[in-house]
Structure formats: C-alpha cells, structure tokens
Chain A
Amino acid sequence: AQSVTQPDIHITVSEGASLELRCNYSYGATPYLFWYVQSPGQGLQLLLKYFSGDTLVQGIKGFEAEFKRSQSSFNLRKPSVHWSDAAEYFCAVRMDSSYKLIFGSGTRLLVRP
C-alpha cells in the first residue's frame, strides 16, 4: 500500500538556521508530491509540488524541495528559518490513478529566537 513517512515528529531550529524536513514515500511509480504547511488554527496551504521535470522545485516563502527517485524522498529545505515559519508541515503524495492525497503524519517545527 502507498504510504508517506515523516520520521521527525518535532524539529527545533534557531532563527536564521537552515532547515530540512524529511519525507519518504512508498509507491511503485513516480507520484505527484506536495508539501503543505498548517499554521496554528489555520487550514493547509500549499508550499510546493512536484510532478515531473527538474527535481529541485521552488515554492513559496523561500522553501524548496528535492525529489530523489533512488531514495524515494522529497525533503523540504529552507536556507534561513524565520520565526513565522513555526508551524506543522505535511508531506503528501498522490498516485497518478487517483485524486486522493496520502499524507504523512506531519512534522511540527519550533523556532528558537
């Protein structure tokens, strides 16, 4: 069965430090890949997505993610974290045969001043 793993439940970084959130998926073919962010009390906002082509994708708010087929990974990165980035981040995949999103369990990002 298809699945998405976000191995880090919580991550704490200092403001200005770099960030990498991990995401691994289990799927036979190349899925559609997404990263969403959920700020406290808010819905989910799309940060970026990957379908095909360049494996390094740029998103909003200075985020980027790299698709690595050999590792079945789609890790999210940001070179310099801002306090406003504190939120929960979800990786999601969608098979090419379905519209259903399969979500990881999320990673909560805390930012130290």
Chain B
Amino acid sequence: EAQVTQNPRYLITVTGKKLTVTCSQNMNHEYMSWYRQDPGLGLRQIYYSMNVEVTDKGDVPEGYKVSRKEKRNFPLILESPSPNQTSLYFCASSPQRERGNEQFFGPGTRLTVL
C-alpha cells in the first residue's frame, strides 16, 4: 500500500531532551516536507526537500533540523525542544514530475513538550 508513515504517533517529552520524528514514504517521491498544525493557524511548512541531500527552510524552521540521506526517509530533529514546539506534525511527499501533483500526508505525530 502506498503510504507515508510517521513514528511515533504520540510523544510527550521534556524541555531540552533531543528527539527525532521519523518519516518514510514508499512511493519513490522526490519531494518531502514537514508541516506543523496549530489551532487557528492551519498547517505551516517547517522544512522541505526536493531530493536526496537537498533540503531547505520553510516558513517556521527555527528549532528544527532535517536530513535527507535516502530518498524514502526524511526525519525531523528537535535538538532542544521547547514548549512552543508542542504541536501536531505532518510529513508529506509528492512526486516531482509535475508541479500540480498532490501531496500525500502521513497520519501525524502529536508532540507535547513539558
């Protein structure tokens, strides 16, 4: 089944404790992206990647890192999480062949930073 998977789905952590949220897609998509969803703000892009070893900042990149060593994986790293990073996070992927292609979303990761 074609899908985007994220792990963990739920995470409660404390301020300053490094964490990684994994994202993997099995559709051979070139483009991958991370969004955070906050009430009243919709989804905002954190980082994106056009292909392996190519990443760039989105609208709200502060406090996050990403890497793209393999085409299928695009982990989101919080080196020193803070309470304002409490949010619902979505990973998405899209083929690059046509710009009109839809983005496929993972199920989301709900992160709470105490």
Complex contact A100–B102 (CB within 8 A): no
- Which stretch from A13-21, A43-51, A65-73, A74-82 is at the chain B interface? A43-51
Q: Residue B50 contacts which of A9, A32, A92, A99 (CB distance < 8 angstroms)?
A: A99
For residue A106, which residues in chain B have a CB less than 8 angstroms away from its CB? 42
Distance of A32 Cα from B45 Cα, bound (Å)? 17
- Which stretch from B12-20, B68-76, B79-87, B104-112 is at the chain A interface? B104-112
Shortest C-beta distance, B93 to chain A (Å), equals 10
Interface string of A80-113 (1 = CB under 8 A from B): 0000000000101010100111011110000000
Distance of A90 Cα from B90 Cα, bound (Å)? 14
For residue A25, which residues in chain B have a CB less than 8 angstroms away from its CB? none
Distance of A6 Cα from B74 Cα, bound (Å)? 30
Q: What is the size, in residues, of chain A's interface with B at 8 Å between Cβ atoms?
A: 24
Distance of A9 Cα from B40 Cα, bound (Å)? 8
* Chain B, interface SS category: strand
For residue B92, which residues in chain A have a CB less than 8 angstroms away from its CB? 44, 101
Complex contact A105–B103 (CB within 8 A): no
In this complex, the member of A34, A100, A101 whose beta carbon has the largest number of chain B beta carbons within 10 angstroms is A101
Q: 27 A-B contacts, Cβ less than 8 Å apart?
A: A9-B40, A36-B105, A42-B107, A43-B105, A43-B108, A44-B43, A44-B92, A44-B105, A46-B102, A49-B100, A49-B102, A92-B43, A94-B99, A94-B100, A96-B99, A99-B33, A100-B48, A101-B33, A101-B35, A101-B45, A101-B92, A101-B103, A103-B43, A103-B44, A105-B41, A105-B42, A106-B42
A sample of 18 more A-B contacts (CB under 8 A), given A4-B42, A101-B35, is A6-B42, A32-B99, A36-B105, A42-B108, A43-B107, A44-B43, A49-B100, A99-B48, A99-B50, A99-B94, A99-B99, A99-B103, A100-B48, A101-B43, A101-B103, A105-B40, A105-B41, A106-B42
